[in-house]
Amino acid sequence: MQSGIDYVDKSYCLTENKGYRLSIQVSLNGFSFCIYNPNKQKHVVLKNFLYSENVADLNLWVKEIDRIAENMINDIAAVKTPVKCLFISRKNVLIPKSIFSTNNIRSYISFFFQVDEFDEIHYQYIPEIEGYCCFALPSPVVSKIISRFGKSDFYSQSYQIIRRAKNYGVGMSVAFCDNFMDISIFKDNKLVMNNSFEIFDIKDIIYFISAISVKFDVKDIPIYISGNISNSEIKKLKKFFPSIVQEQNRNISLLLGSEVSTKYFNLLSLQECE
């Protein structure tokens, strides 16, 4: 998680309590949030927080979120609309609308992943693929976010990636998270592949993109990348994949640099998926 980001636009006003939209990003490696002003069509706040200690323990994770939320009070007092929370986790699956049933949502996840005692299952419909994204969230974390920020809608990073990727028509979307990456491929405006892969270094990234490009015969299509990847790593990837497009929020890129913009692109674009 990028540290040291504390951006507040000069136009942001704590007393302007109409219209601002709050988005949150939660993972095991940090907590970030942004505030979007739809009237001016720009983000007026972007901040991230590192946890003060290892949050492998669920109780510590909740305590850290509580501590961060307390520090945020003065920044988000003006935000009254429901919060959108992007939760970064590999525990998500896509289920076609034709076979989806709310009675089976826990079994959808448990077929592929270990479902922990405190996991609760959420789902969001993705109209672009006529299917549902089902994902697991720790219930104590969900409860803490709702208690701190009020009504909240929760999303998996896969939901966000697929909704954006549909706009490409043809392309591969690669989103880098903490120790894994999600890949989606669209051809002729149809989703043909979506999966996540555990990664440890740049060699793993090159291998998976190369293997998938060959398997699905998409060697020459644009590769749209976002998430937790450095500019130096992007330069290395471009040597192997010249068609890479670095996804960025233009205003944030100009203000804070392309690396920050790319890293938080999914969080920054969350409010655009209505």
pTM for the complete prediction?
Answer: 0.90
Closest-CA residue to 121 (of 149, 102, 144): 102
Q: Using CA atoms, how far apart are residues 237 and 235, in angstroms rounded to an integer?
A: 5
Q: Which two tokens stand for residue 250?
A: 């233009």
Q: What is the pLDDT of residue 100?
A: 96
Q: What is the pLDDT of residue 178?
A: 83
Residue 167 scores a pLDDT above 90: no
Q: What is the pLDDT of residue 4?
A: 63
Per-domain boundaries in the chain: 6-89+134-272
Closest-CA residue to 122 (of 172, 173, 156, 85): 156
Q: What is the pLDDT of residue 2?
A: 46
Mean pLDDT of 201-213: 96
pLDDT tens readout for residues 51-65: 887 777 899 999 999
More confident residue, 124 or 6: 124
Fold classified for 6-89+134-272: Nucleotidyltransferase; domain 5 (3.30.420)
